[in-house]
Amino acid sequence: MPVRLDHTVVNSSDRFVAARFFAELIGAPEPAVNGPFAAVVVENGVTIDYADHFIPRDQIQMQHLAYHVSDEEFDAIHARVVEKGLEYWADPYHKRSGELNAMHGGRGFYVNDPDGHNLEFFTRTAA
């Protein structure tokens, strides 16, 4: 049986601040209320559900969320990051600031959301 991701939960200090940050970066509509979550819809109806009630703010653990995007989407997302004056990196360890990477013959970068989650945007996969 094929498995399809339906949603994932990302802990945040403020669900709407975090969800709006992500939605603005990817050019998505305003996050929707989905029960106790602020939901951002991505490809194939998958939602990234931001929660601010599961754990105390000072105990939020960084998550790595990687997004495969088209070249056009990459350009738009990167432009929004630059326009907002956000720091971004070519590597997940945040050692190469202000650079893009060329992994797998594509382009990629990493940026932190307001809670320190490491968001990765890339145009080519290894396979």
32-91 pLDDT, tens digit per residue, is 999 999 999 998 889 999 999 888 888 999 999 999 999 999 999 999 999 999 999 999
Hey, what CATH topology would domain 1-54 get?
Answer: 3.30.720
Task: Give the model's pLDDT for residue 62.
Answer: 94
| Residue ranges of domains in the chain | 1-54, 62-127
Task: Answer whether 1-54 and 62-127 agree in fold.
Answer: no
Residue type, 15: R
Which of these CATH numbers, 3.40.50.970, 3.30.870.10, 3.40.640.10, 3.10.180.10, describes 62-127? Answer: 3.10.180.10
pLDDT, tens digit, for every residue of 92-119?
A: 999 999 999 999 999 999 999 999 999 9
